[in-house]
Amino acid sequence: MKKYYSEIVNYLNKYNIDVVSDIPKNKAIYGIGSISGSDVNLITFYSNSEYNNLIKITKAYGCLIKDIDKHILPKNCFPIIVKDPYLVYAYLSNFFYPTDISKNSINKYSSIDKTFIKGNNIEIKNFVTIKNNVKIADKCIIGENCVIGPNVIIGKNTHILPNTTISNSIIGETCLIQSGAVIGDRGFGFTSNEKIEIRHIGNVILGDNVQIGSNTTIDRATLDSTIIEDNVRIDNLVQIAHNVLIGSNTIIAAQCGIAGSAKIGKNCKIGGQVGITGHIKIGDNVLIAAKSGVTKNISANSTIAGFPAIDIKLWKKNIIKKYRNLK
């Protein structure tokens, strides 16, 4: 998408981001590319010394870069001086490649219950099924083959990608739910001996600006609610069981499993393939290394690793000791 350099600067200034460069204001820029894949029509970014050799030979017209690093750029590449190149790259990725905008249409091949309450300027694509007691707010997009309902409320500006199933849920505003996710279906619960199923009659609540990855499942609560608070990011292939609470701004990488009634605090970062047992509490600002198994309560501001997960410094000492013993 063609943008003039002056437009780029004005866009970043709206977010109080200062930019310094000798690029002419009327220079046309056609997007952002990788260091090795860019050409004279694109800009790139540099934020990692692992790419020192590549940045020296990049063909990009300009590069988002810190002032301290600009000397490594080739002469053909204009430095675009910013404090945080990666952050600015994130902003510009949205500027050059914005999300879809609703076309204000309902496809004739979709099946829609008569109880449906529709907001303004929504788009419902091919073969969507909307069941009873569904309310979708303004400017939402529902992708092909989605099944929505029963008992679903979706906030405005939310985008649901194809082949997603949502039931018994309240979805906040400006959320992104990627393909294949299942939200609000019944969970995994039964008595241990007789295997009598425990009915799940609660719901799922997603806050605002939440993103759910492909093929992630979030089970409805047995009673009350499974809650994902504002600004949470959940990667692909994550299982979140009934009555879990995930605090705001927490990030969960792929293939994690979180058992029922676990409570995870705000601003946590959970690496890939972490397992978290049920009915425990993890405090705010906790970092959990990939492939850890969390079996007990974790205090706020901790960094843990291993199975069972322990303080990461102790875990590293144990690994070193084990390695030395092998010698």
> Known catalytic residues?
242
Measured CA distances, 308 to 153, 178, 255, 288, 297 (Å): 39, 32, 18, 12, 12
DSSP assignment of 181-223: -EES-----B-TTT-PBPP---EEEE-TT-EE-TT-EEPPPSS
Q: Which two tokens stand for residue 89?
A: 């790259």
| CA-closest candidate to residue 268, choices 293, 242, 291, 299 | 299
Q: Which two tokens stand for residue 237?
A: 């292939």
H helical segments located in 32-127: 52-55, 85-96
What is the distance between the alpha carbons of residues 4 and 24, in angstroms, rounded to a whole number? 9
| CA-closest candidate to residue 242, choices 302, 194, 197 | 197
CA angle (215, 198, 152) in 5-degree steps: 50
